[in-house]
Amino acid sequence: MIVELGHFALVLAFLVCLVQMVLPMWGARVGDDRLMGVAEPAALAQLGLLIVAFAALTHAYVVSDFSVANVYANSHSTKPLIYRISGVWGNHEGSMLLWVLILALFGAAVAAFGTNLPATLRANVLSVQASIALAFLLFILLTSNPFARLDPVPAEGRGLNPILQDPALAFHPPFLYAGYVGFSMAYSFAIAGLIEGRTDAAWARWVRPWTLAAWMFLTVGIAMGSWWAYYELGWGGWWFWDPVENASFMPWLAGTALLHSAVVMEKREALKVWTILLAILTFSLSLMGAFLVRSGVLSSVHAFAVDPKRGVFILAILMVFIGGGLTLYAWRAPSLRQGGIFAPLSREGGLVLNNVLLTTATGTVLVGTLYPLALESINGAKISVGAPYFNATFVPLMVPLLLALPFGPLLAWKRGDVYAALQRLMVAGLLAIGAIVLVFALVERGPWLAPFAIALGVWVIAGAISELLFRVRVGNADVAEILRRLRNLPRSVYGTAIAHAGVGVMVIGITATSAWQSETILTMRPGETTRIAGYEINFKGVAPSDGPNYREVIGLMQVSQGGSRIVELAPSKRQYNAPPQATSEAGIHVALMGDLYVVLGDEAGDGAWSVRLYFNPLVRLIWIGAVIMFIGGALSLSDRRLRVGAPRRVRRPTHAPAPAE
């Protein structure tokens, strides 16, 4: 009964979407307030109905109702409660339901908090938002119904793929989807702006918080996925340039560019046409990501078995929204008025450079991801594009970006003084040079470029701090004055500096672990000892153990350093009973300088086991960097000037003090 209620709510949500798509846009066209007024209650009703549908499916999972095909295929009664719940979105149908739920959540947020938006803009935005939801609801109802029943009812479910039974992965999809879907707001605003033929600073002020929120979720979602891949898959890597990973990374890159270009549009009314295009492209890349992941057209280590028919449907959705968006753009964009002229060396110029480099980098990732598909359809050759391609194209584009990054916030709008900025970054530059010398002195092996990459990270962090110090006039004012200025600095300035510092932290982590990772693969008999990165690892043997829904063999590893025992690691090989599938659980010892990472391999005969050991220096900084970026974003989001409904244009004396001109 509850299941049918969920299905019914889903169908109702579809109908509500239809109303929400047609009436408000019509109302905005003819200027009818009552028709436009349909949008808000419809958006809220849509959210309510989808909550009912989602709750119904969750209920079926929690009580293990195996009469529902989706529950039967992806759940099992012995599974712990948290994985029964996360199992709701750990499969295709459920994850699409989560997708539309989050979509509705964003739409409802506009309806509930968008009271200060112009009425026509709000009606158009909600209408476009509803059209996206409509397409995906149709997709769910026609090809991926999560509420389909089974007859006869099976006694037991097939279980969730064991590698998905993991805390980080339980929350990875919701964050990722909140990011993907969050960019739909930017898209809806862009389309609404094009329909009205009017976009201005107020438009950008509205788009920015949504884009920022989506970007924050996507940052954390990607970082969580990377963290999960790192400890759960037992390969010791954190990023593989795999198509599925790239699918989430491209919207992130484009979204980062959008975040920065929207600043220019809000503050200076410049880059309008470009920002609108970027908003359309960012969501298009999100949709393409959904297509690549859900259709299985690309060979991926993260891909799951899929039904190819669904891919065609998503491809159709993709074509309608990307094609439609770009056509409208081509038609209407020339009528948008450009404002704000600026010199190349200015804050705007810096943000343009940021955009050029980020979008070009997105382009290289896109080419590398889609090239195998293109080549196969042209001459049938099957190829793969791997990490060497991305390292050779993506990394060179990031170097100038990171070099230029600290300059941006120090340049004034309209016309900046690079020489003055350079003076303010003197200390940061010296620190970076110091880092090169220090790393060369301390590390004897590894690529010679690595110390420079570390220095780049230091440069970005020190640059971000220099900017804050300059803004509070350290060196030019007394302590009381500095403290007063620190208090009065807008949160978005802190947010920017913190997020930029997070990038620097991540760069250091990526460089260190890529350049100086140690790896050993060997077979060990009980009692044998091996060494890696200053640790001695003594293999004491294996012990069987039983979990709630698996059996495992645990390898007992005593880790010592310089003769003193540090920790006992227990990497294991698990055999899950439903579905019957083997997984490896790595044993990880986290220390200040890096992770010791131990994987138990297969039994190699007469009591010996193959064992894989890694030492990943500073690898945690990668995810810590992502968290710092998230915190920076959150601080910016909480800034009064960005907050929805805040009075417009509160100028503060300390904001953007013009450097000497």
Site string for another protein, 386-425 (x = CB under 8 A): x-xx--xx--xx----------------------------
Distance CA(81)–CA(46), nearest Å, equals 28
Q: Using the rule CB under 8 A, give the single segment among 219-227, 293-301, 321-329, 454-462 that binds another protein.
A: 293-301
Q: Is 296 among the residues that bind another protein (CB under 8 A)? A: yes
Residues 159-178 that bind another protein (CB under 8 A): 161, 163
Residues 510-539 that bind another protein (CB under 8 A): 521-523
Q: How far is the CB of 561 from another protein (least distance, A)?
A: 25
- Sequence length of the chain is 661
Nearest to 351 by CA among 439, 280, 412: 412
The helix-helix angle for 92-113 and 167-196 (nearest 10°) equals 50
Of 303, 403, 418, 644, the one binding another protein (CB under 8 A) is: 303
Q: Are 575 and 582 in contact (CB under 8 A)?
A: yes
Backbone angle region of 141, left / alpha / beta, with phi > 0 → left and psi within -120 to 50 → alpha: alpha
Alpha carbon dihedral 212, 218, 224, 225, in 10-degree steps, equals -170
- Residue number, 478 or 606, with CB nearest to another protein: 606
Q: Is 583 among the residues that bind another protein (CB under 8 A)? A: yes
- Residue number, 321 or 609, with CB nearest to another protein: 609
Residues 480-499 that bind another protein (CB under 8 A): none
Q: Is 315 among the residues that bind another protein (CB under 8 A)? A: no
- Residue number, 154 or 580, with CB nearest to another protein: 580
Per DSSP, the residues of 47-105 read HHHHHHHHHHHHHHHHTT-TTBHHHHHH--TTS-HHHHHHTTSSSHHHHHHHHHHHHHH
- Residue number, 194 or 264, with CB nearest to another protein: 264
Q: Which two tokens stand for residue 241?
A: 């340039």
- Residue number, 244 or 425, with CB nearest to another protein: 244
Q: How far is the CB of 595 from another protein (least distance, A)?
A: 18
Q: Is 119 among the residues that bind another protein (CB under 8 A)? A: no
Coil vs helix vs strand at 608: coil
Residues 628-657 that bind another protein (CB under 8 A): none
Within 13 A of 434's CA, how many CA atoms are on the CB side? 9
- Number of chain positions touching another protein (CB under 8 A): 63
Write b or e for each residue in 235-260: b if 16 or more Cβ atoms lie within 10 A of its Cβ, otherwise e: bbbbbbbbbbbbbbbbbbbbbbbbbb
Q: Which two tokens stand for residue 515?
A: 């350049």
- Residue number, 272 or 620, with CB nearest to another protein: 272
Residues 546-575 that bind another protein (CB under 8 A): 551, 553, 573, 575
* Pairing mode, strands 550-561 and 564-569: antiparallel
Residues 339-368 that bind another protein (CB under 8 A): 344, 349, 352-353, 356-357, 360-361, 363-364, 367-368
Site string for another protein, 597-626 (x = CB under 8 A): --x-xxxxx----x-x--------------
Q: Are 533 and 589 in contact (CB under 8 A)?
A: no
**Residues in contact with another protein by the rule CB under 8 A:** 161, 163, 233-235, 296-299, 301-305, 307-308, 344, 349, 352-353, 356-357, 360-361, 363-364, 367-368, 371, 381-386, 388-389, 392-393, 396-397, 521-523, 544, 551, 553, 573, 575, 579-584, 599, 601-605, 610, 612
